[in-house]
Amino acid sequence: MEGYQGHPVLVQALAQESVQELGRESVRELARESVQELVQVSGQLLVGGWELLECLVDVVERLIVLISLAALNIVAGRIINQRNEPACSVGDDFFVPGPECFNFYFCQNGVLDLIDCPPGLLWNDVTKRCDSAENVECDDEQTTEITQAPTTEAPTPEPTTSTPSNTFMPEVEGALPILFPGSECPEDIRAFLLHATDCRRFYYCLYGVQYPQMCPFLETFNFVVGHCVPQDQSFCFPGSGW
């Protein structure tokens, strides 16, 4: 006996229609037809089996609703991400407002990070720093239609005499300096500060302010290249771990 392949109308409906477009009665009818075919093919329709059939219809109906809603959420999430996130390419170096007034995007050499300001501060896109609320003009969803990276680069601070002695410079073009644990964020440079005990954690230093960051799951911060990498490619600072 050939295995059950699924009702073709049901498969097509799931692929092309949402629950709202099908309507509850249509969804239930498709579920009923699919379960009937399944029961008949498997030869399990016994005396009193129609009660079981109705139960299976309810289960399949719920599954259809859950699958459709999950698909809608995934699509909606992708649309929102595509709409809000700026393009960040290798060689780019810029700041733009984030989806909320208290955060901002930092693009550095193809790596895009969403960073929160310290509590009580908002992102000031004029000065390119976190600032007091009275100095900031911000609208909700301030990055609704960013489609490409801005042409202007981030402001460059006044030249300094030297970088701190406890600084490591990755051998990657465009990378930021790496500060070892125990260092303070300098007010005149941008850098990454390593965490003392956790390889997933690090800090982004923006003109004297520390912004705590964490690598994605199963990734750690590689100070040799200056960004998060898979754990099996990690180069962790001695003394810290995961």
For the segment 67-124, what is each residue's pLDDT rounded down to a tens digit?
666 555 544 444 444 446 889 888 888 889 999 999 999 888 888 888 888 888 899 9
pLDDT of amino acid 101: 92
Range 18-44 average pLDDT? 61
In a domain, 150, yes or no: no
Provide the CA 206 distance to its chain's centre, in angstroms. Answer: 22
**Residue 121 structure tokens:** 């501060």
Task: Determine, yes or no, domain membership for 50.
Answer: yes
Q: What's the CATH code of the domain at 170?
A: 2.170.140
Q: Are strands 129-131 and 167-168 parallel, antiparallel or unpaired?
A: unpaired
Q: Which residue has the higher pLDDT, 158 or 200?
A: 200
CA distances from 201 to 34, 107, 166, 219 (A): 50, 19, 19, 10
| Any domain includes 57 | yes
| 188 found inside a domain | yes
Could you report the per-residue pLDDT of 144-157, keeping only the tens digit for each? 343 344 444 444 44
One-letter amino acid for residue 166 of the chain = N
Positive or negative, the CA dihedral 124, 130, 135, 139 is: positive
Last residue of a domain, one of 35, 63, 80: 80
- Quick one: pLDDT at residue 193? 92
Is residue 43 one of the residues assigned to a domain?
yes
Full domain range(s) for residue 115: 89-137
CB-CB contact of 113 with 106 (8 Å): yes
Residue 231: pLDDT band (50, 70, 90) is confident
Last residue of a domain, which of 80, 101, 126? 80
Whether pLDDT at 159 is above 60: no
Report the domain count for the chain: 3
Contact by Cβ (8 Å): 13, 28: no
Q: Which residue has the higher pLDDT, 69 or 214?
A: 214
Q: Are residues 33 and 66 in the same domain?
A: yes
Question: If you average pLDDT over every residue of the chain, what do you get?
Answer: 70
Q: So what's the pLDDT on residue 1? A: 44
pLDDT interval class at 158 (50, 70, 90): very low
